[in-house]
Structure 1
Amino acid sequence: MRPFLMRLLIVLGGLWTLPNTAIGLLLGAIGLPFGAHAHWRRRDLALVFHRWPWGPGGAITFGNVILHTGDNLDSPCVTYAHRAGHGDEPAIMLADHERAHVYQYLVLGPLFLPLYLVFGGISVRNRFERAADRYARTGRGWWPFSES
């Protein structure tokens, strides 16, 4: 795809998912007085709030915002299938997993959160999480409605 067209699609996707990004920005800003700090990750098309002070650990994405409880998004993590005991899978990079969610948000915009919840929320059964794990393992297949 031509670079200009790709940039245009990213901008349009960013506008489409702006309500989700606004939620992430609000939550990220709430974390700032408690030690969170933010920086833009161009590769991930996201503003990342590191050291976000709440949650069980890991990261969560809202539009073009990633809330991360750790210091470095480029860290290994286990897949949902591995954590659920569905097999012994190699570790993936958390940044790659969350980037897949950013791509999903860019396409689905305000439909992402309702669909994510309908398909199981934070769970190994959720096709959005399986697709993000697949993308993190292979660099392909971030779309939740395909199996490649």
Structure 2
Amino acid sequence: MGRTASVLLRVLGMLWTAPNTGLGLIAGSVGLPFGARVHFDPHTVALVFHRWPWGPGGAMTLGNTILHTGETLDAPCLTYAHRAGHCEEPPVRIGDHERAHVYQYMALGPLFLPLYLVCGGISVRNRFERAADRYAQTGRGWWPW
């Protein structure tokens, strides 16, 4: 695929998931007065709200936004399978895991959230989470089917 086609697909994906991104922008903006900091990360193709002050820790992607409780997306995190005790795997970079979710959102747009919930929500059973872990481990395979 040529560079022009790749850029066009990214722009179309960003437009397709704009409603989800809007939710992320609202949630991220609410965190700004409480210490969150925002910047654009070209590697993940997302606006990242670091030090987002709520949640159990880690990150959550909404379209082309990432709400992250930590300081950097370079931090290691355990895969869902490892945390669930299904296997032992080396930690992955949290930014790579979240970038897979950004790609999933760009492909599925407004369909992402309902499909994600139908597939099990935040759990090791969720094919979206398994695909994001696979992508973070190998750099391939972000598509959940």
TM-score interval (norm. to shorter): over 0.9
Output the CA distance in 1 between the equivalents of 2:138 and 2:73.
18
Calculate the TM-score normalised by the size of structure 2: 1.00
Deviations 1:27-54 (A, max 9, x none): 0000000000100000110000000000
Amino acid at match of 1:42: P
Q: Alignment partner of 2:74: what SS?
A: coil
Residue in 1 aligned with 2:118?
118
| Equivalence map 1:11-90=2 (5 Å) | 11-90=11-90
Q: Alignment partner of 2:47: what SS?
A: strand
Amino acid at match of 2:65: V
Output the CA distance in 2 between the equivalents of 1:43 and 1:81.
25
Equivalenced residue count is: 145
Percent identical across equivalent pairs? 71
| Structure 1 alignment gaps of length 5 or more | none
Calculate the TM-score normalised by the size of structure 1: 0.98
Post-superposition shift, 1:8?
Answer: 0.4
